[in-house]
């Protein structure tokens, strides 16, 4: 039987709208949005606390980790500052992601081999505090193996390249996703996926072997402008069934 795919909703870009005015407004209220996410069938809230604080702010992390009606998945860079914030606020999950100050959004997966010593130690520290850990990576077998060696609970595959590709390139990326997901499952890792997923690709990603979770943000916030957030999430849930 095919795994049920849970939907994590990334609300970073709701915070972006608030920060466009320099954080001088209290809307959109992220805590209110969490309620709409839950009503629509979302099962997790994903937020990325960036070094430059371009959208999610420190007070958002504090408030959401304390009061959210849904588990919090905190995306963060491999840094001591972020580790201490996670340990203090205790989200349900931490997802280690790459981060470059100049990028518009996360442009690819984290090279965990390059930061293996740091990420292994941080993973052990987080897990000792009952915080589950995932790594946001490209569908690469060597990276999957490194994630297992570092004792991650899950890997989240970067789907952005697959979403944007066409023709034979799209088929190539899909085969890489399938192979990496199968290998991750063999090694005992949960399989998550995210980045660039819209309604059309949600229908397709559900066919990925062993997939148990997707995290979707930008598309849902955009769809919400027309449909409302709750209806957009319900529609996304339907596509994932």
Mind telling me the catalytic residues?
48, 75, 195
Q: Classify residue 52 by its DSSP letter.
A: T
Radius of gyration of the chain (CA): 17
**Count of residues in the chain:** 241
Quote the CA–CA distance of 109 and 133 in Å, as a whole number: 15
Q: How far is CA 123 from the centre of its chain?
A: 17
Quote the CA–CA distance of 126 and 6 in Å, as a whole number: 23
Quote the CA–CA distance of 157 and 137 in Å, as a whole number: 5
Quote the CA–CA distance of 48 and 39 in Å, as a whole number: 22
Choose among 166, 16, 221, 30: nearest CA to 104: 16
Choose among 47, 41, 61, 39: nearest CA to 16: 47
Residues with Cβ within 8 Å of 198's Cβ and at least 6 positions away in sequence, in order, are 163, 219
**How deeply is 2 buried, as exposed, middle or buried, from its count of CB atoms within 10 A (0-12, 13-18, 19+)?**
exposed
């Amino acid at each position: 039987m095919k795994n049920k795919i849970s939907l994590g909703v990334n609300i970073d870009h709701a915070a972006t709208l608030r920060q466009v005015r320099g954080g001088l407004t209290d809307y959109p209220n992220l805590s209110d949005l969490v309620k709409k996410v839950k009503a629509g069938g979302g099962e997790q809230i994903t937020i990325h606390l960036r070094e430059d604080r371009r959208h999610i702010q420190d007070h958002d992390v504090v408030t959401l980790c304390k009061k959210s009606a849904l588990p919090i998945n905190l995306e963060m860079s491999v840094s001591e500052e972020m580790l201490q914030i996670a340990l203090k606020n205790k989200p349900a999950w931490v997802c280690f992601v790459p981060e470059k100050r100049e990028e518009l959004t996360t442009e690819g997966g984290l090279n965990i081999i390059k930061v293996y010593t740091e990420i292994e130690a941080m993973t052990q520290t987080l897990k000792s505090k009952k915080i589950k850990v995932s790594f946001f990576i490209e569908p690469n077998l060597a990276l999957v193996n490194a994630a297992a060696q570092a004792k991650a609970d899950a890997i989240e595959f970067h789907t952005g390249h697959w979403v944007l590709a066409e023709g034979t390139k799209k088929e190539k990326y899909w085969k890489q996703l399938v192979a990496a997901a199968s290998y991750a499952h063999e090694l005992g890792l949960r399989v998550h996926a995210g980045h660039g997923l819209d309604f059309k690709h949600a229908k397709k990603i559900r066919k990925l072997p062993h997939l148990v979770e997707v995290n979707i943000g930008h598309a849902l916030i955009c769809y919400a402008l027309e449909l409302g957030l709750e209806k957009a999430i319900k529609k996304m849930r339907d596509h994932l069934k």
